[in-house]
Chains A and B, each alone.
Chain A
């Protein structure tokens, strides 16, 4: 069976949901970052699938997802740098314990 748009979207939603679940439930900043990456991967699948099935000639969806990947890479670089700095300062990356801005 050749998968159609629907199957791709289900896969996309599934991966996105996994990422979302992890981002909401995990405490470790690194894991949250990974989960956000997973969510972005899910979105990318949806983008590419739409592009493939709706506008097969133009590569808009594909180029868009390349953008997302690039931005995500940059985001991870910045995010990890922050987490590293945070760890040096506080000796933890547990987001529940990083609550200085809380009242």
Chain B
């Protein structure tokens, strides 16, 4: 790891934490109001990014696993010893770069987007805390620390979704995100406990070693893997725990770009990748991951087709792409999933920033009120189109290369899942260009005069656009996926043009191209009326538009009926009848028996005296006659 001092590695998560402490405690109590808060957080993240890049460059040249021992944090009688330590391996290296880079760009972008907002230091403080927690999650060598950071990113997500807490929708969305991810976290925690009881350690590498050595039974491994995946499902918004992510769009758009597109939601994928040796030992868990991934990808894609809110489309697209990554993981490869995570982080953050830029000038996210923005906002339009092309998987942009890997893996393993993934790819291209044409094409709909966003917002978008184009080229020689631990034989032909020797490249390009063409025909040229198409497929359209009624199912049936009226009512009655009943009966028994006894206490002193006398006499006689 080209000899980076350990202290500097500790500084990677340490600096954002220091920024958080400084912002939250010092600045808040001193009540300094200026952009200084932002600059402080940005400086910390920038330094962190520079260090991460250094670490990652070293790993890229010489992939290896490094453990950095910290100090003993908790020692419970020698049974549970928790050490704060860090792990640096190619997997964490790539995550470090993604997290710090996107966080840095998002914070710079926020300077423009959030300009003039109230409580900016709270905003930057939470983003710094988030960055710290995310880096901690990535680098932790211990499941407990990992879980703590996992919860901490969840907390930051909650705090930032509800940043505008005075808006009821935002507060509601924040709560929803918190609750639903908690369902998944329950599984994760259970898995941690299960692993601890059977492997006797919480250190990730030791657990892997124990599992591979066969010290942990295969049933335990399967359950633990499924529990971990449940955590990942919650965090990465996989079906059926996906409902919080679209609602989370109530938060500020830069937050959506950072947390709900690039990093936190991808941490589920990272987690599965980190615990991959366990999954590899359990075919059941792997096939579950693959199936859930493919179903989620397709399912979220269909909803994204019909949403009117630009951020909702992006949110469902994110869910869909996370499904893709899960599919990649489930098919037996960490490398391809992480590669897609890597490229996706850039172009999806870019798309969110583009949506934020549009919102910044038009004041709406509703695509029906937009249109014709291409001339008014050329930079936003250009970068957004690049992001969309990348996401759709158009050669030679980043998304193409990472998507190809997953499709190829699916094709050679699971033809059914491959078909689902290909259909998703088609829908992805269609809905992204539906957004592009509705937003930037056609005529402007409203009377407000939109304007291009300021440089501070455009520059991060340009940087991301460059990455959205070029991030995939890192793997042109297969180097990136190799160091991430490519599980397959290198049958895949790499290279800028060499990729086209494989028929799959043509197929996926044709699929994406036809999706874009259809969107162009429907929303730009209007050869096909979108209304007519919707009417023709109205049953499907209704289902998609109502998001398969999942929210209604959860709220009305599971939430209100099953839990509130059913289970909770039952608990309430149990409480009233059994618990309160027992207490009341005990009290009643006491009352009755004391009613009988209290007649003895009649208040006549003389009678007491007499009883006293006879009592003493009886005792005296007893003593005398029994000796």
Q: Give me the interface of A with B, judged by CB distance under 8 Å.
A: 20, 23-27, 32, 95-96, 98-99, 101-103
Contact = CB atoms under 8 A, between A and B. Distances in A.
B603 interface: yes
B213 interface: no
B608 to A, nearest CB: 9
A95 B605 CA distance: 6
Contacts of A99: 602-604
Contacts of A103: 598, 601
Interface of B: 598, 601-606, 609-610, 613
21 contacts: A20-B613, A24-B609, A24-B610, A25-B606, A26-B606, A27-B606, A32-B605, A95-B605, A95-B606, A96-B603, A96-B604, A96-B605, A96-B606, A98-B603, A98-B605, A99-B603, A99-B604, A101-B603, A102-B601, A102-B603, A103-B598
B603 A24 contact: no
Contact of B613 (A24, A27, A101): A24
Contacts, number: 29
Given A98-B603, A98-B605, 7 more contacts: A24-B606, A26-B606, A96-B604, A99-B604, A101-B603, A102-B602, A102-B603
Chief secondary structure at chain A's binding surface: loop
Max count, chain A CB within 10 A of own CB: residue among B604, B609, B610:
B609
Nearest to A23: B609
A102 B605 CA distance: 11
Chief secondary structure at chain B's binding surface: helix
Nearest to A97: B603
Contacts of A95: 604-606
Contacts of B605: 27, 32, 95-96, 98
B221 to A, nearest CB: 68
Contacts of B610: 24
A102 B603 CA distance: 5
Contacts of B604: 95-96, 99
A7 B610 CA distance: 27
Contacts of A24: 606, 609-610, 613
A48 B359 CA distance: 108
Task: Please give me the 4 A-B residue pairs with the lowest Cβ-Cβ distance, nearest first.
Answer: A99-B603, A102-B603, A95-B605, A24-B609
Nearest to A100: B603
B355 to A, nearest CB: 77
A24 to B, nearest CB: 4
A96 B609 CA distance: 12
Max count, chain B CB within 10 A of own CB: residue among A95, A102, A103:
A103
A23 B607 CA distance: 10
A57 B579 CA distance: 71
Contacts of B606: 24-27, 95-96
A75 to B, nearest CB: 16
A24 B605 CA distance: 8
Contacts of A25: 606
A71 to B, nearest CB: 19
B132 to A, nearest CB: 66
Contacts of A101: 603
Nearest to A25: B606
A75 B80 CA distance: 65
A101 B606 CA distance: 15
A53 B558 CA distance: 94
Nearest to B597: A103
Contacts of B613: 20, 24
Contacts of B598: 103
Contacts of B602: 99, 102
Nearest to B594: A103
A95 B603 CA distance: 8
A39 to B, nearest CB: 11
Nearest to B600: A103
A77 to B, nearest CB: 20
Contacts of A27: 605-606
B336 to A, nearest CB: 82
B317 to A, nearest CB: 76
A26 B610 CA distance: 11
Nearest to B598: A103
Contacts of A26: 606
A89 B605 CA distance: 19
Nearest to B612: A24
B193 to A, nearest CB: 55
A74 to B, nearest CB: 21
A58 B473 CA distance: 115
B339 to A, nearest CB: 83
A61 B218 CA distance: 87
A99 B613 CA distance: 21
Nearest to A95: B605
Contacts of A102: 601-603
A24 B606 CA distance: 5
A20 B610 CA distance: 9
A18 B500 CA distance: 125
A98 B603 CA distance: 8
Contacts of B603: 96, 98-99, 101-102
Nearest to A96: B604
Max count, chain A CB within 10 A of own CB: residue among B604, B605, B606:
B605
A23 B605 CA distance: 9
Contacts of A96: 603-606
A101 B602 CA distance: 10
B247 to A, nearest CB: 62
A103 B604 CA distance: 12
A24 B611 CA distance: 9
A53 to B, nearest CB: 21
A101 B613 CA distance: 22
A22 B479 CA distance: 111
Nearest to B607: A24
Contacts of A20: 613
B617 to A, nearest CB: 10
A53 B454 CA distance: 118
B591 to A, nearest CB: 12
Nearest to A20: B613
A96 B603 CA distance: 6
Nearest to A27: B606
A25 B613 CA distance: 12
A64 to B, nearest CB: 20
A96 B604 CA distance: 5
A50 B404 CA distance: 115
A96 B610 CA distance: 14
A103 B599 CA distance: 8
B157 to A, nearest CB: 62
Contacts of B609: 23-24
